[in-house]
A = this chain, B = another copy of it.
Amino acid sequence: MAILAVGSVAFDTVTTPSGHAENVLGGSGTYFSLAASYFTEVRLVAVVGEDFTPEHEQVLTKRKVDTRGLEHEKGKTFRWGGQYLDSLNDAKTDFTELNVFESFQPRIPAEYKDSEFLFLGNIHPLLQSAVRLELSEVKLTGGDTMNFWIQGAPQELRETLKLVNILMINDGEAKMLAKESSLPRAARKVLTMGPKALVIKHGEYGATIFFRDTAYGAGGHAFRAPALPLEEVKDPTGAGDSFAGGFMGYIASQGNMNREVIKRALFYGGVMGSFAVETFGTERLQNLTRDEIDARFQLFRELTHLE
């Protein structure tokens, strides 16, 4: 079933211990769409400027991402610059040029209105809510957010959280959102804010999903999937959105949403995140095969499963 993704398309300038890349195609919408495209039909809503060329758009359309929701505006595309020299888990931002993203008002094409899965990338909570409320067929909404909104738009974010079924954030964001220093306590508190499940991403240590009691069937209250101990992380940018793409893409590709599907989806999220960081930008996510993806899924299983 189709996923509608709303998020950013950006040009990133990134420095890591492995090197430097300038103005490579990125953004939450881009990483999510490419990662999810290996599992299901993806429809993208985002905004780009005049510097976004047909060649850039082909990166998406070659993976059969539906770009009818991509708005082309006068001006430049969102640009971000950052470095990961001290830690691969935390980016230090060098510059942010919002450009056309500053006045982004997501418009949902009529052809997208029947979408049953929705991913709300990390944009203003008010915009996230507006998109969700415009779609009446949605069965599952996944959402992301960040410190900037947790601190800067707490009330608006609270409203959005009531509309999000599975929230995907990292350790620091979960603790900040819940005002709790213990992750499990933070998780329990976030699950009272709306979401039925919370995915906490631990970077190189994988991710844990916490469930509300009977959400998505019976089962334990938590499940953990690994990240691969990769020798070389070239560029961590986009790992979280690629994780979300693998996670939601896999769920959307299955007929139902039970616990076992969601657990496997957590593994596929880690798998897509692990591919994303192998190159600067989206290069690795552009030319994968489903066989490569499933082989890595198998590696993740062997890394964690007893006989």
> A102 at the A/B interface (Cβ < 8 Å)?
no
Copies in the complex: 2
Complex CA–CA separation, A210 to B224 (angstroms): 20
Q: Give A12 Cβ to nearest chain B Cβ, in Å.
A: 22
Those 6 A-B pairs whose CB atoms lie nearest each other, nearest first: A205-B205, A184-B229, A184-B231, A304-B304, A224-B226, A220-B302
Count of A residues near B, CB < 8 Å? 38
> A307 at the A/B interface (Cβ < 8 Å)?
yes
For A260, what are the chain B residues with a Cβ–Cβ distance below 8 Å? Answer: 306-307
Q: Is the CB of A231 within 8 A of B185?
A: yes
Complex CA–CA separation, A116 to B252 (angstroms): 53
Q: Interface residues, chain A, CB within 8 Å of chain B? A: 17, 88, 181-185, 187-188, 202, 204-206, 208, 210, 220, 222-226, 229-233, 260, 263-264, 267, 299, 301-307
Closest residue of chain B to A233 (Cβ to Cβ) is B182
Q: Is the CB of A267 within 8 A of B306?
A: yes
Q: Is the CB of B182 within 8 A of A223?
A: no
Contact of A299 among B208, B210, B220 (CB under 8 A): B220
Q: Is the CB of A303 within 8 A of B182?
A: no
Closest residue of chain B to A230 (Cβ to Cβ) is B184
Complex CA–CA separation, A229 to B174 (angstroms): 14
Closest residue of chain B to A86 (Cβ to Cβ) is B181
Complex CA–CA separation, A306 to B305 (angstroms): 8
Contacts A206-B205, A208-B229 given; indicate if A224 touches B303 (C-beta within 8 A): yes
A202, A223, A226, A263 — most chain B CB neighbours (10 Å): A226
Closest residue of chain B to A200 (Cβ to Cβ) is B229
Q: Is the CB of B232 within 8 A of A182?
A: yes
Complex CA–CA separation, A181 to B225 (angstroms): 23
Contact of A204 among B183, B185, B232, B302 (CB under 8 A): B183
Q: Give A278 Cβ to nearest chain B Cβ, in Å.
A: 13
Closest residue of chain B to A231 (Cβ to Cβ) is B184
Complex CA–CA separation, A232 to B183 (angstroms): 10
A187, A223, A233 — most chain B CB neighbours (10 Å): A223
Contact of A183 among B226, B229, B299, B306 (CB under 8 A): B229
